Structure 1
Amino acid sequence: MKKTDIVDLLNKDIEGEHAAIIQYLMHAYSMGEGELSCEIEAIAREEMRHLDFLAETVVELGGVPSFHRGEMRMSGKDVASWMKNDVLAEVDAITMYEEHIKLIPDTKIKRLLERILSDEKSHHGDFQKFVSEAKEEGLKDISGNKQDKVTEILNWGIEHEYTVIIQYLLHSYLAPNDHMRKEMQDQAINEMQHLGWLSEKMVGKGGRPRIEHSKINHAVKPSGMLNADIKIEKAVAAKYDEAAKEVTDPKLKKLFTRIRDHELYHVKVFTDLKKTIKD
């Protein structure tokens, strides 16, 4: 099997992990705070780790990680229905990893996929248990369909955060050295925090998080990556500043101001990083 064929298979795995992450986070945010939502977020973090393993392997093979998102199952009006969909997502993952393990001849990659497969089988059991727990507790969708200026601003923020998470992760995998890679991943983690904060606020305000991304920068040269990252952070910091002045809710105003300050910090990090990088 050619390296390019292995890359294609691994990118399908990445796309599946990507879909699972967003599906599980949407379910966790929409059921509100509690033990079950925390457990689901923990599983989503494990899927993020899988994505990281796979993306690094793709780069080692000379490929570029795919950040297209696979198919999600978002139907269902109560948490038990969502958990059934999450069980099915794990069935899909198990089936795909078992198939790819058979197809890929590389021993090291087989071992990685077997390790991920073990996690997916565990997740499958977890979600089966969550179906019963959700039924017993009568857990419901607490998000709503409210649409006003505040939910519009929140969904704008969610879209931005999701976009830069993907962009910074992609740039981290293509970075020329470990220092840039770590900095990009650190800022991506910070943006993941923002995504969670904004999504939880959205549900609290009676809205529904819309986790969709806008255009991703696919620059290959480090300077091009960092120029794009600096540009988007400057624009977004200004937008969060504007949002903080526009809303009247003190807690929301404080949140937007905090995120604005983080984005300005990112500008400084990327600017300093640019001085150390050569194309």
Structure 2
Amino acid sequence: MKKLELIGILLHNIALEHSAIVQYLYHIFLIQDAEVTEEIEKIARQEMRHMKWFAQKVVQLGGEVELKRIEEEIKVGGPDWVSMLENDVNAEQLAIDTYTKQLELVTDDSVKKLLERVIHDESQHKHEFSELLEEVKRRDFSEEEKKEADQKTLQLLNKLLKEEYRIILEYLYNFFHSKSCEYKDIMLDLAIESMVHMGELGEKLSKMGGVPDLSLPEFGKIKGVEEHIVYEEHSKNEYTKLAEDVSDPSVRKLLEWIEGQEEYHKQRLLDFMRRLRKLTVGDLKKKA
């Protein structure tokens, strides 16, 4: 198999994992039961690892990571929880079938080992979703009555959720393609914390009667540390302003919490830039 064909397979797998993560996030937001959503969240985190592993292989092969999705494979279902979990079982079966077929085509040993590992994980996920589905059927879960919220608040939460999704993709892209180990570590940490923000906003939105907007946002690719510092400063200020404007105390508290994390994001990036400049100046002095 040619290198470009192998990269194409890996990019398809990234898109498939991305699609599954989005589907599971919808269900985490829409199912109002902690026992159920904790199990789904655990599986979603593992799918994020799969996406990272496939992306790292693309970079190792000299390709460029594309954080696309396969829209037709994002099957939300609902409003009943049974149909949502049935779709999750089917998503795992699709992944198993896809990666099993790829095993017959791929000749690269390291990629074959990765596919075998991921198939093993997906088989376990299918089993876990199947058990969860049977439990939901037995316990006759139903959707809780939603609180009414004004449309302005719901639109605000959706706007913020969409922006967190966008910056997650941007930070992940920079994580995959950065040459600096320290910067890669910062990008991954910031992406993970932004995922937490996205989750909290989505759960709040759902509890207030809204439907999270998880459509794929456009995002920038390689950005410099200075640009990310400016972004985090702007984001912090935006959360500060919005927290002052909202009337719901629980929403205000959530926005203030995210604002504090954005401030720390900016500080981490500033510290890295200062160290980078010291190293650069030091190298210039040595050359002189």
Q: TM-score, normalising length from structure 1?
A: 0.92
Figure out how many residues of one structure are paired with residues of the other and give that number: 274
Tell me how far apart the structure 2 counterparts of residues 79 and 5 of structure 1 sit (CA, whole Å): 39
Matches within 5 A, 1:113-192: 113-142=115-144, 148-192=151-195
Compute the displacement of 1:154 (Å).
Answer: 0.7
Secondary structure of the corresponding residue to residue 64 of structure 1:
coil
Give 3-state SS (helix, strand or coil) of 1:63's partner. coil
The structure-2 alpha-carbon separation of the partners of 1:8 and 1:106, relative to structure 1 and needing over 3 Å to count, comes to same
Mind listing any 5+ residue stretches in structure 2 that lack a counterpart? 281-288
Task: Spell out, residue by residue over 1:216-246, the C-alpha distance to the aligned partner (whole angstroms, 9 max, x if none).
Answer: 1112xxxx34344233323222221111011
d(CA) in 2 for partners of 1:17 and 1:233? 28
2:265 paired with 1:266:
yes
RMSD of equivalent CA atoms: 1.8
Q: Which moved more, 1:121-130 or 1:38-47?
A: 121-130
Which deviates more, 165-174 or 130-139?
130-139
Are residue 89 (structure 1) and residue 88 (structure 2) matched? Answer: no
Q: Which amino acid aligns with 1:160?
A: E
Contact persistence 1:18–1:51 (CA under 8 A): yes
Unaligned runs of 5+ residues in structure 1 are: none
The separation in 2 between residues aligned to 1:114 and 1:194, in whole angstroms, is 33
Out of 50, 75, 78, which is 2:77 matched to? 75
Deviations 1:41-91 (A, max 9, x none): 100011111111111111111112221012301233211101111111111
Cα deviation code 1:96-127 (max 9, x no counterpart) = 10111111101111001100000111111222
Tell me if the contact between 2:14 and 2:54 (Cα under 8 Å) persists in the aligned partners: yes
After TM superposition, give the deviation of residue 264 of structure 1 in Å: 2.1
Greater mean deviation of Cα atoms: 91-100 or 203-212: 203-212
Distance 2:145 2:66 in 1: 31
Instruction: Tell me the equivalent position of 1:212.
Output: 215
Percentage of pairs with the same residue: 33
| Mean Cα deviation higher: 9-18 or 235-244 | 235-244
Pairwise CA distance, 1:147: 5.5
Superposition map of 1:198-277 within 5 A? 198-219=201-222, 224-275=223-274, 276=276
Q: How far 1:5 sits from its partner (Å)? A: 1.2
Q: Residue 180 of structure 1: CA displacement? A: 0.7
**Higher Rg:** 2
Q: Is 2:47 the counterpart of 1:47?
A: yes
Please list, as runs of the form range in 1=range in 2, the aligned pairs for 1:1-16 lying within 5 A after superposition: 1-16=1-16
